[in-house]
Structure 1
């Protein structure tokens, strides 16, 4: 029996995807590739999928590849939040009862050789229901739909990534002595040590200490074609910052996901742990953030539409874009800062925003404007993000809010000279408060769908409930390391 040509039946590839598929098959043959990792980002931004042989991948380009939707029942600790064996699986979306299969459809334009894994490649996939409809809970689909809305108004999102993270050395794996975990109870992470000491921001000697560790990561990122711009020593010991040149919105999300998985896998192969957890429970560590740089370009010409022509900080369109982002930032907090740990970063005078402000080249503001009259690189930097944020949802939330501001000509209010004392609404100070804000928000329900918002609220509430239960059993905060609970470190350090 021959497999159904699912891609052809539902017309899922355009001519450029067909050409990319042919190039991928040629590369597999030329390079002797044996395994292709078909991956998709889950609700938490982690990459899941299957490793297919070359013949199986060739078949998937026609028929897709069936995979269980079971991971969508899991919170950040793989607790099974919804009952898959009820008639509707616990969802408000028809057809998801019984944990059915969905189709992974490779996006052949993302086919990438993995330099650290011999004879192995990776390709991002989109998820589809068996009736040919996009799987409504897939974050990559949420982002693609949002960018299509922008394109419908002849706009394109231009995106730059600036991500902070930690590099540590494994001292003891704990295998055989520590807990291996269970659903809803993460395994004990390895015991680690810093790879550097002292707060030495941008000190070249400090960066050189870890150059041998960073080099294989840098080499791999460049070999994969990611537009790596810089690798820097950040503020805290063992804290790194990596930036990339501009990409369009979907390519930026894929790049962020690929960067994180590559960094973590290469570090692990060399006896290290790379963590994108905001603040690990390690003495002396400081909060990491993810600063998202964006501008709006004309879809036809590529011209930056946010460039000011006078002494104003941005064009009128740019001001409205900022206005929309500020207007929806409270409800967007679950997308920008999805972990309990990430809210420890929101403190006054900490280089992280705690309220709805914008400022001209001001790192205390949530929306930092980087511009000059007629400067074609004029753009804004959203400084609110947690380094563990789901790239697809973070970028989608920014794009949706910015477009809404443009369409409704939202006024961002006056520039803040002292953002930490500005008399404006505060950002949520906990994940629980952020979840409540999202649940009650009509804008993101309209933009992303009630089904997705209700689903994500349920997932994140499970996380909060488990943390609150742990805290009741462990009320003594004097046991926290670096102000961070053991629960948070087990929950996020190794998985993110």
Structure 2
């Protein structure tokens, strides 16, 4: 009996998908299969196996070291993995021990930019079949299961901004290596500052076109490709999908764009605000709704002509606002991302909602009788881990429903309201998470302590650096 069978890890749909996967590998004569899992940062890690070995591991799993869960954004190990419990308080994590990547065959793709290569997303389990608690896809699956048990599905559409530059110097000299290494030198593809003009789009079209072709070939539900306001900045929007699909799609999309661009001499970055003259911040706007599993009816849709949202929708909205400060650790997990929260900038700076208002944190779209009624949360950065971002939304929203919270009136001038301000830094966001016990209970103390430990390690490294600003400000004056 295989590991998958012994622990009941696949649904009937996944078993059918595994049959199709094996057939595709044979019919297309694939040579290698990439087994990947999304880590705590939403970055894909894993192993590439020759096709025959990948088929053998399909139901038995592929080992990978637990230190993958101990890395901060510099890829440094920030837990004492050779102590008791590996620094996690879990015996199975001691000594850089192995865990198992178990493929989810429903996620299988053939990579259009890498000849003879298949790709499959994995979940991570201990040898006794238990899911690793720090694997964020596992966490999100648990959140979805609780939502499903209430009779609902989560539906999300993505608007993702990023920058694409021309690579000028890749910085591959030995002295450029490190944790992190020296970033590449780049040049612009467009000067920007002509939002949605055809001229700016045409300047970037050669790059955007090969991205578009490969993203569609992956089966991702791409809706539009647009030039954004800033230099070399663009936006990709995706049709709404259900459950795991929007989060899985986001990690695959980001990884795909970076790989596709790098192979052709370009550099794509989902960093919020690159330190490049004249560039502007990128955001990730998450459109979300909750629908009935029985009827497909949108739970946010109002039947009252005087209300934009149903009572359920108003409670969900209020929950997002009530936990907005604590949730920023998940929606904006990098130090750099907080440079985006500026007044009068088309980015939010406080926890407020508005009807079709892009200055508000939550933009409410739709209305009475409109089945497309949804909430657009504009708080996120493109570097966010989608499993944590979406988990935080569902949990916070349902808490608002359960407590019958009221979101208050729509803000016509959101930057002038007296609403609670969003954190100004990642450190403040970590404090906000600690001050709000909700996520500690909803996600589990072990997960929150683990994630904040990693974030604090990143903050401490940042605080230890002497910045260019400090050197300019004080070196000559004092």
Corresponding residue number in structure 1 for 2:36: 39
User: Retained in 2: the 8 A contact 1:93–1:451?
Assistant: no
| Structure-2 separation of matches of 1:453 and 1:406 | 23
Corresponding residue number in structure 2 for 1:494: none
Q: Secondary structure at the match of 2:415?
A: helix
1:364 aligns with 2:359: yes
| Structure-1 separation of matches of 2:172 and 2:29 | 34
C-alpha displacement of 1:115 = 0.3
Listed as ranges, the matches of 1:169-208 within 5 Å are 169-176=166-173, 179-181=176-178, 185-208=179-202
| Structure-1 separation of matches of 2:113 and 2:189 | 22
The structure 1 residue matched to 2:324, chosen from 326, 329, 334, is 329
Listed as ranges, the matches of 1:335-484 within 5 Å are 335-471=330-466, 475-476=470-471
Question: Structure 1 residues 473 and 193 mapped into 2: Cα distance closer, same or farther (>3 Å)?
Answer: closer
CA offsets, 1:151-182, max 9 Å, x none?
1111111100000000000011121275211x
Q: Secondary structure at the match of 1:451?
A: helix
Corresponding residue number in structure 2 for 1:131: 128
| Structure-2 separation of matches of 1:178 and 1:312 | 61
User: Retained in 1: the 8 A contact 2:84–2:91?
Assistant: no
The structure 1 residue matched to 2:57, chosen from 22, 41, 60, is 60
Question: Structure 1 residues 289 and 415 mapped into 2: Cα distance closer, same or farther (>3 Å)?
Answer: same
| Structure-2 separation of matches of 1:158 and 1:202 | 27
1:212 aligns with 2:206: yes
C-alpha displacement of 1:472 = 6.8
Listed as ranges, the matches of 1:299-318 within 5 Å are 299-309=293-303, 310-318=305-313
User: Retained in 1: the 8 A contact 2:302–2:368?
Assistant: yes
| Structure-1 separation of matches of 2:210 and 2:473 | 39
C-alpha displacement of 1:315 = 1.0
CA offsets, 1:444-479, max 9 Å, x none?
111111111001110000100000000379723679
| Structure-1 separation of matches of 2:28 and 2:150 | 42
1:22 aligns with 2:16: no
CA offsets, 1:383-442, max 9 Å, x none?
000111111111111111111111221111221111111112111110001111213332
CA offsets, 1:36-59, max 9 Å, x none?
111111011100001111111111
In the alignment, structure 1 segments of 5+ residues that lack a partner are 480-496
TM-score scaled by structure 2?
A: 0.97
Corresponding residue number in structure 2 for 1:163: 160
| Structure-1 separation of matches of 2:192 and 2:212 | 23
What is the aligned residue count? Answer: 473
Listed as ranges, the matches of 1:275-314 within 5 Å are 275-309=269-303, 310-314=305-309
Corresponding residue number in structure 2 for 1:486: none
In the alignment, structure 2 segments of 5+ residues that lack a partner are none
CA offsets, 1:224-270, max 9 Å, x none?
11110000000011000000000013100010111101100000001
Corresponding residue number in structure 2 for 1:7: 4
1:265 aligns with 2:259: yes
| Structure-1 separation of matches of 2:405 and 2:35 | 41
Corresponding residue number in structure 2 for 1:492: none
Runs of 4+ aligned residues of structure 1 deviating over 4 Å after TM superposition are none
C-alpha displacement of 1:221 = 0.9
TM-score scaled by structure 1?
A: 0.93
User: Retained in 2: the 8 A contact 1:230–1:242?
Assistant: yes
| Structure-2 separation of matches of 1:476 and 1:295 | 48
Q: Bigger CA drift: 307-316 or 123-132?
A: 307-316
Q: Secondary structure at the match of 1:399?
A: helix
Q: Secondary structure at the match of 1:475?
A: helix
| Structure-2 separation of matches of 1:243 and 1:63 | 37
1:51 aligns with 2:64: no
| Structure-2 separation of matches of 1:402 and 1:248 | 17
CA offsets, 1:265-322, max 9 Å, x none?
0000010000000000000100100000000100122111111221312111111110
User: Retained in 1: the 8 A contact 2:154–2:242?
Assistant: yes
User: Retained in 2: the 8 A contact 1:164–1:387?
Assistant: yes
User: Retained in 2: the 8 A contact 1:146–1:447?
Assistant: no
Q: Bigger CA drift: 427-436 or 310-319?
A: 310-319
Listed as ranges, the matches of 1:77-92 within 5 Å are 77-92=74-89
**What is the RMSD computed on CA atoms of the aligned residues?**
1.4
C-alpha displacement of 1:325 = 0.6
Q: Secondary structure at the match of 2:87?
A: coil
Corresponding residue number in structure 1 for 2:96: 99
| Structure-2 separation of matches of 1:358 and 1:28 | 48
C-alpha displacement of 1:375 = 1.2
Listed as ranges, the matches of 1:223-262 within 5 Å are 223-262=217-256
User: Retained in 2: the 8 A contact 1:331–1:438?
Assistant: yes
User: Retained in 1: the 8 A contact 2:192–2:228?
Assistant: no
Corresponding residue number in structure 2 for 1:485: none
User: Retained in 2: the 8 A contact 1:347–1:354?
Assistant: yes
